[in-house]
Structure 1
Amino acid sequence: MTSEHVLSRRAFLRAAVAAGGITALAGCGSPPGGGAVPLAYWNFFVGGDGERMVGLVDAFRDEAPRTDVTATTLAWGAPYYTKLAMACAGGRAPDLATLHASRLATFGKELVDEWDLAELEARGVTPDQFPAPVLERVTIDGRLMALPLDTHPLVLFYNTEVCAEAGLLAADGTLAPIRGAEAFLDAGRRAAAVTGANGIAFGAADALATWMVFWSLFRQLGGRIELPEGGPAEVDRDAMVEAMAFLQTMCDETIASKTLDGPAAPASFASGQAGFLLIGPWEIVTAQNAGTPFSMTQFPAVFGDVPYVRADSHSLVLPRQATVDPAARSAAYDMAVSMLTNSLDWARGGHIPALSSVAESPEYLALQPQSAYREAAQVVEFDPDAYFSGSGSTLMSRAGQTLQGITSGALTPDEGADDLIGWLDQQLTLGSPV
């Protein structure tokens, strides 16, 4: 696997612009003594995910004592992707890094190397072991550019006691199926009648929460957004207006509040002030720590028959380096496969394992409520493909501003659609800096 990459000064500068102009961060130090192979790994995990990631790294250290792993945790979002892009462009990147699959539009062009399928197969991993929509997202021009560790979709938490009193549970104690927009709103009203507050805890004032729900609704309506370089944006405006109208209807201060922010929504659910919570599965820790009687399920099919849902995937990439050390590259493959095969504990934090041998294992299926929404991995919808799109991106932040105008009632759905489409058109005229 010996290879050499010489990045042009232009590529370096373009990555600098894309990343915000922050100085490159070196990935690797000097090799340790005793012949151990140095391996640098970057990630952005903190809190419960951070603890579980330490466990995955330590498991690999136990498996590969001749590999000296330096794991570096950087601030998630723009700071992380800035430093990683600069390091890749400068040829001084780590040997292995975590990347949201939704960010591959930028990194997949020049900043990461493809995974060698033969090397993966030699370690027991093949592409057909991943969910089809996730595999499609991490494959560019027929090349596997990222190795999925998980899928983390929007999910629906529900308070089992509140839902029982509201008559929303099936005979087996799980949430009765919710089908259609009116059924979803009605479930929220019935839960609110029990809590005396809100039916659904939802971060109406949070960019991530509003985007996740909007994108799920928009895709269920068959809406598409194409973002060609130079513009204009190709948008299904009718679907956008309808999705925004549903959000506005939901945030009526009974079904859902207009003012809850990101941290307040899970706190409201954990304290019993709402019967449901709309957010990513990582908030399972909040509910567990609070002792809330709860379970989880897929985000329902509010529109149409298929419960398409916004999601992303924590994936592993091989950052572009000026010169690749064959021993370090081999160790990177070993570590990546180790993390995938040992991802059962990672799943305890709410993430759906990407590797089928874990996702279909008796141990994972017995993990409740985490495995209850596993089928969502087959109907995930990633963010539109653009250099300014993806988790922690400018698109999510700016769309959040529009959507908060919708949930607060400051904008009509028509005004919201015009606002967001206008911004997309303007952004596309700037062109990709990478």
Structure 2
Amino acid sequence: MTGQISRRRLLSGAAALAGGGMLLGCAPSASRSAADLSYWHLMTGGDGIVMAGLVDAVNGQNLGFSATQTVLAWGPPYYTKLAMASAGGRAPDLAIMHASRIAGYAPGGLLEPWDLDLLAEVGIRESDFPPLVWQKGLYDGKVYSIALDTHPFVLYYNTDHATKAGVTDALQTMKSPEEFTEVASKLQKVTGKHGLSYGYLGDGSQMWRLFYTLYRQMGADMLLVPGQPAQVDEAAAVKTLTFVRSLLDDTIATRSGDGGTATSEFLHGESGMFFGGVWELPVLKDAKLPFDARPIPTLFGTDAAYADSHTFVLPRQSKVSPERRRHVYQMVAEILKRSVKWAGAGHIPAYQPVVRGAEYQELKPQSNYAGIPAYVNYDPDVWFGGAGSDFHKYFAENVQNVYLGSGDPAAGFEGFVKRLNVLLDRPQPV
């Protein structure tokens, strides 16, 4: 192929991968000085404020560079622009990417690998990260992402309701679906409404987070290899869906609640437990609610928890300035070493020296679930998966009726697998 044809195919593949059109706006200027770093991320709201503070703190150290942030809309808009800027070789010096998206970007040359020697020079080593978190950033033996955090799906509970229901100890020791249901039933008697809040309606990601946590607790795997049928455990999937549906009985939990309904219900004391991401923590704290948090209990024998990670990546550039690249490494190191501030938003810092520090250990309830990275489960590695992709939407299309009580668990999961197999039969677009 000629270089022109190759580049055109790369651009069209990047557009397909990102799920959007050819958006090349926001590309950094090639005339920037080596001290002027361009940094793209998708942090908004409270996360955005914290990230801006971290960047300002690093810039304030006068280390010979200054980073300028560009904040883009979460999800497909962000990943589309990042893919297209990388495909065109006009990407930022540094970007944030969910760990679950690495499998779609690294194989096609949209990312550049990190240099382990340069990382060591700024004090960052593999041993500073939980093994599973570090491994998620690998492709073909090279490191393509450096994790900032792990943000898992957890269990929150109202401590006042737990005391009244006499389940405070049971919340820490339950190890079976029957024990979980019993605790939820006792909490429902205290609240008079629901024992558990779990919002999923219209949100495939919420459906998937709980399903995949419990599915993996059964020791079940899901291997998605392009060109091959999906390798899944249908029996474990049906058992998981059946259990989730049993909780959605309009007594333990509402059968048709969405995310906003679940959060509001828990905030107003109308439930005793709440399945949610750690990113919900700031809202709960602001409400002055008497609550605590812990990992979702191991109900099916194997420790497992769904999570994703915000990671630092080096998008592909047509021309790399060695001096600017060294500044990028130093910037990442400085942010990681200050990531206890990031933990305030609920996330678990990936950089373990911070997690082991006294300041983080004193954070509650954050330090209660700090052990999750040891058994974390990310989305299956596949080019069409990950945060902001359609993977979770495909799950919802087939499983939402199961959660609502009108669909058959086996048929719902079979439909999801069929949809996966159609995509696996297609060549990776990049």
Q: What range is the shorter-chain TM-score in? A: over 0.9
2:376 pairs with 1:377: no
Match of 1:55 among 53, 56, 71: 53
Quick one: distance in 1 between partners of 2:200 and 2:69? Answer: 35
Structure 1 residues 22 and 12: CA distance shift in structure 2, 3 A:
closer
Alignment of 1:338-377 (within 5 A): 338-377=334-373
Equivalent residue, structure 1, for 2:392: 396
Shift of 1:186: 1.3
Equivalent residue, structure 2, for 1:136: 135
Quick one: distance in 1 between partners of 2:250 and 2:330? Answer: 51
Runs of 5+ in structure 2 lacking a partner? none
Alignment of 1:22-421 (within 5 A): 22-29=22-29, 31=31, 37-64=35-62, 66-109=64-107, 110-170=109-169, 175-205=171-201, 206-304=203-301, 306-421=302-417
Shift of 1:36: 6.4
Range moving further from structure 2, 134-143 or 148-157: 134-143
Secondary structure class of the residue paired with 1:393: coil
Shift of 1:266: 1.5
Quick one: distance in 1 between partners of 2:271 and 2:314? Answer: 43
Shift of 1:339: 1.0
* Two-structure CA RMSD over aligned residues (Å): 1.6
Q: Deviation digits for residues 133-192 of structure 1, max 9, x if unmatched?
A: 11111111221110000001111101000111111113xxx9432211111111111111
Shift of 1:78: 0.9
Normalising by structure 1, report the TM-score.
0.94
Structure 1 residues 216 and 179: CA distance shift in structure 2, 3 A:
same
Contact 2:116-2:125 at 8 Å conserved across structures: yes
Secondary structure class of the residue paired with 1:58: helix
Secondary structure class of the residue paired with 1:278: strand
Contact 1:225-1:384 at 8 Å conserved across structures: yes
Secondary structure class of the residue paired with 1:152: strand
Range moving further from structure 2, 408-417 or 422-431: 422-431
| One-letter amino acid of the counterpart of residue 157, structure 1 | Y
Runs of 5+ in structure 1 lacking a partner? 1-5
Quick one: distance in 2 between partners of 1:23 and 1:216? Answer: 35
Secondary structure class of the residue paired with 1:40: strand
Structure 1 residues 65 and 337: CA distance shift in structure 2, 3 A:
closer
Q: Which runs of 4+ in 1 moved over 4 A?
A: none
| One-letter amino acid of the counterpart of residue 55, structure 2 | V
Shift of 1:89: 0.5
Contact 2:34-2:324 at 8 Å conserved across structures: no
Quick one: distance in 1 between partners of 2:78 and 2:326? Answer: 25
Equivalent pairs counted in the alignment come to 423
Secondary structure class of the residue paired with 1:226: coil
Quick one: distance in 2 between partners of 1:358 and 1:142? Answer: 27
Shift of 1:31: 5.0
Quick one: distance in 2 between partners of 1:178 and 1:158? Answer: 14
Normalising by structure 2, report the TM-score.
0.95
Match of 1:425 among 414, 421, 427: 421
Shift of 1:37: 1.0
Contact 1:204-1:251 at 8 Å conserved across structures: no
| One-letter amino acid of the counterpart of residue 49, structure 2 | E
Quick one: distance in 1 between partners of 2:195 and 2:253? Answer: 6
Shift of 1:286: 1.3
Contact 1:204-1:257 at 8 Å conserved across structures: no
Shift of 1:26: 4.1
